[in-house]
Amino acid sequence: MQAGRIFVCILSAMVGVSLPQVVFASETTHTKHAHHKSTDADKKQDAPVAHAAKTPSTHKARASSKSQSVAKASVAKASPARKVTKAVSKPSEDALELDAAGNPRIQSSAFYVQDVASGQVLLQKNSSVVQPIASITKLMTMMVVLDAHQNLNDVIEVTEDDVDHLRNSSSHLPVGTRLSREDLMHLALMASENRAAAALARNYPGGMQPFLAAMNAKAHQMGLQETHFFDGTGLTKNNVSSARDLALMVANAAHYPLIREFSTSAEYTVDLGRGRNRAFHNTNALVKSSDWQIDVSKTGFINESGRCLVMQAWFNNKQLAIVLLDSVGHYTRIGDANRIRKWLEASANRHPVASGASARRPVSASL
């Protein structure tokens, strides 16, 4: 029997025919080595093959199995590379999360985006809900001050009457600070300085009551149906409006060059007296962004209102009023504004209207 096996091997060498089971064992061994690791199923298949690998083979059989094994090893190495590439692929940085209607997912509880010229509503949610508006109030405060045509160079002193005793909010304007009416307007709009706004209202012709009457009269003149004012700072929760009304208010504020200039300046330094210079900064970081072209801007926050932001900005040669109310979190309103910008850029030639859009209203009223 042993002699018969030797004869078969010699005969195979002479005619150049390899034993099939030997070639199969060689391929499997090399392939397994190329993968380094195998699954449990692989191990079950390897067990009988490993025993077969002990069978003697000829020179040609080894050469043939080596060339085929190298090819399989190359394929085995290439497969993980393709998988890795697929796994690490990243979505586009411009990817925007949309809802079922194709509109951006906005986190603010109420918002309103409107084409100023046509009155077309591009986005809205809870736009007629009446809620506190905090320092968005200061836009109306500045319009009323400018309508009175008082001397902008008049020096006004910050007094104890301008200190916030309702919420005890802080201020960078100490009692006794003397600034021009123009400087106080700049700080009230840009840095949302409450004492600056209070001092301006207090120094209105006739005092505070005529000032408040003028604020509400102007709101009525503009057609703001859901807007009422009880102070000039916005510290009281009784100053209320809706997102729809505020779009109209910010569009009207854009008619005042000083409001456009002061509300969008990034920084302003004033002399607080005795050689004390202080730099104030805009509460809306977007005014410094090259991605935005903003005409008017105002932020607001008290606990009852959440974080608010209103702007008039340019997109694709169109003026848009953007209102974001009751945002939770310090950066949510900024994130929402950027989501709206990306959505507008992605759909420049489309004008979808969010479900439940109200009838158009003109956004320019007589001042």
Q: Minimal CA–CA distance to 22: which of 69, 63, 54? A: 54
Q: Using DSSP bridges, classify how beta strands 277-281 and 267-271 pair: parallel, antiparallel or unpaired.
A: antiparallel
Q: Alpha carbon of 5 to those of 1, 9, 55, 58: distances in Å?
A: 6, 6, 12, 14
Tokens, residue 328: 């939770």
Tokens, residue 157: 């002193």
SS in 3 state form for 199-217?
Answer: HHHHCCCCCHHHHHHHHHH
Measured between alpha carbons, how far is 321 from 249 in angstroms, rounded to an integer? Answer: 9
Measured between alpha carbons, how far is 13 from 334 in angstroms, rounded to an integer? Answer: 80
Q: How many helices (H) and strands (E) does the chain have?
A: 11, 11
Measured between alpha carbons, how far is 240 from 227 in angstroms, rounded to an integer? Answer: 5
Measured between alpha carbons, how far is 59 from 174 in angstroms, rounded to an integer? Answer: 97
Contacts of 157 (CB under 8 A, 6+ apart): 176, 177, 178, 199
Q: Minimal CA–CA distance to 301: which of 321, 332, 339, 327? A: 327
Q: Angle at CA 121, nearest 5°, toward 120 and 126? A: 155
Measured between alpha carbons, how far is 332 from 288 in angstroms, rounded to an integer? Answer: 17
Q: Minimal CA–CA distance to 104: which of 316, 293, 347, 296? A: 347
CB 183 within 8 A of CB 273: no
Q: Which residues are catalytic?
A: 135, 138, 192
Amino acid at 234: G
CB 121 within 8 A of CB 363: no
Measured between alpha carbons, how far is 329 from 107 in angstroms, rounded to an integer? Answer: 10
